[in-house]
Every structure is written in structure tokens, then in C-alpha cells.
Amino acid sequence: MSAVVDRFQCLQCASPDAHSKYQRVPDRFHGFPGEFTYVTCAQCGLVQHEHVPPNLGAFYTGYRVHTGDSLLYRVLRRLTIGHCYLGAQGEGKALLDIGCGNGFYLKQMAGKGWQPTGYEFDPEYAATLSQQIELPVIAGEQTLAEHEGRFDLVTFNFSFEHLDRPVQFLELAARALRPGGQIYIAVPNIESREAAVFGSRWFHLDPPRHVSFFTKAHLRAQLERLGFTDVKVKNLAIPTGFAGSISYRLWNRFQGATWYAGIIPGLLFSLFVRDGNFAISARRRA
Ligand SMILES: [Zn+2]
């Protein structure tokens, strides 16, 4: 019965009750057809899709994060969000980057002495990427489950907000860590002033690809529930949120020239306001 299938159920606490947050927002980044409504769970406060689109994978066709390979894009990406990624020396330790995009972080960490493995959701994409970057990229929850206790570090670099089963996936990621291993999650901050200023035209809303927006308190609680200790949170200054949001305000869509022009003002905005994104890290109990 479609009425049952369509009923809201919170991705974090399974509550059936929610309040409207942003109604019928289009995909301004890629312009795929459709309108997407975000709600706030009445029980736990998680902002999320009212209904997660069943064909979510289709909205990644030509995804800029996977294909954006021009020199200018790479340089800008490195300058703007490079500092958000954990950059410690590896000394042969094993890293798993979940939602590894075009593998830029894996390559960077390999250069710092890590043994990196990527995780992607589409097995075909994972295989192609693995060949391209000559590093292992795995796919499938079953495969991930087989890597229990193997990694010293598991990272979600702006991928956690894309998950349609975030709580279950966090548990899988936790099990992939060895005791004492570290988890690092960088996500957009729905509680930010940046998000409040731009509302449904906030660049990091990115419907329909961004499925849910765990807050600092949500992630802290989830990590503590899974037995993590030493939880640390820091805000991240990223100019792309402001630059993209200006483009959405002016043109109602992503417009490359406006985005590039907005990077410098965005840098100033993100340095002064510095709350559009945050990272949380924690250690699995030894
Ligand atoms: Zn909830």
C-alpha cells in the first residue's frame, strides 16, 4: 500500500512525526528534475528528507565531486577544503575513506605514508576509480563488514550527509576500526548561521544528494553510544558554501562564474562566521 510506504520514518530514531523545514526544493546544483522536502524529526530533531528518493544513485550522474578534474577546480578544491581533511603522517597505518569521491584524499594520504582504502557505493564506480588511482576501493556493506577491526582511521569527508542509512553505516564504520582506532567525520552544519542566512538556498543543502544533517550533539551521542571516547568537535571554514549560496540566490541555480567570483568573499565570510561545516573525531575504546 503506497500510503504505508510513503509514511515518514526518522533515519535516526524511527519516529513517525516530523515538522516541515524546507518545502519542495529543486536540485540547483545539477538541475535534475524533481522537488525535495526536508523535515525536522519531532522526536530527535534530525533534519532529513521527508522521503528519501528511492533512486538516489541516479542523481550522481556526472556528479562534479567525482568528475571535476580541471586544474583550476583541483587547485581551488585543495585551497578551499584541503584543510578540512585530516592530514597526519601515516607510518604504514591503514585508512578507510568512506565516500572517497575521485580519490584525491586517498592519494594525498598515500603520499603521507598511509595505506589507504576507499569505499564507494556503486561497485562499478569503485572498480573504475580503483584502476585509475591504483589504490583499493571497495564497495558493498557486506565487503565492508569483512574488514572488521582492520583500520587505524576511518574518515567520512563530506559523505555522511549522503547516507540513506546513516546510523547503520556508522555502526559498520565503527566495527571496521581496530580498538583504539580513530574516526573522523566532516559534515555541513545545519545549525550554522550560514544555513540560517540562506535557508533553502543554502549551497550545502544540496537536494536530493544530501539526505540528513546530523548536528554536533547528534553525532556526539551516536559516537558515545558506540563506545567512542575522546570526542572532539571543531568548526571548519569553507568558502564554497557562501559562494554557491550566492549563485543560488542570484540565479536560482549553480552558475560557475558567480561561484568562482564568490570564493574570495566566501573566504572572508567563512573566516568570520566559521560555522557552515564542522568535523567531529573520536577514538574507539581500546
Ligand atoms: Zn528522529
Query: Could you report the per-residue pLDDT of 229-267, keeping only the tens digit for each?
Result: 999 999 998 888 999 999 999 999 998 899 889 888 988
Q: What local confidence, expressed as pLDDT, does residue 136 receive?
A: 98
Distance CA 161, CA 198 (A): 18
**CA 207 / ligand 1 centre spacing (Å):** 19
**CA 18 / ligand 1 centre spacing (Å):** 8
Q: What local confidence, expressed as pLDDT, does residue 88 receive?
A: 81
- Inform me whether the pLDDT recorded for 84 exceeds 70: no
**CA 190 / ligand 1 centre spacing (Å):** 15
pLDDT (average), residues 41-62: 92
- Which tens digit of pLDDT belongs to each residue from 109-142? 999 999 999 999 999 999 999 999 999 999 999 9
**CA 217 / ligand 1 centre spacing (Å):** 13
- Inform me whether the pLDDT recorded for 286 exceeds 90: no
**CA 222 / ligand 1 centre spacing (Å):** 12
In this structure, whether the domain defined by 55-284 belongs to CATH 3.40.50.150 is answered with yes
Task: For residue 230, give the 3-state DSSP assignment.
Answer: strand
**CA 9 / ligand 1 centre spacing (Å):** 8
- Inform me whether the pLDDT recorded for 2 exceeds 90: no
Q: Is the pTM of this model over 0.95?
A: no
CA distances from 228 to 56, 153, 171, 245 (A): 30, 13, 11, 35
**CA 270 / ligand 1 centre spacing (Å):** 29
Distance CA 228, CA 180 (A): 9
pLDDT (average), residues 58-72: 70
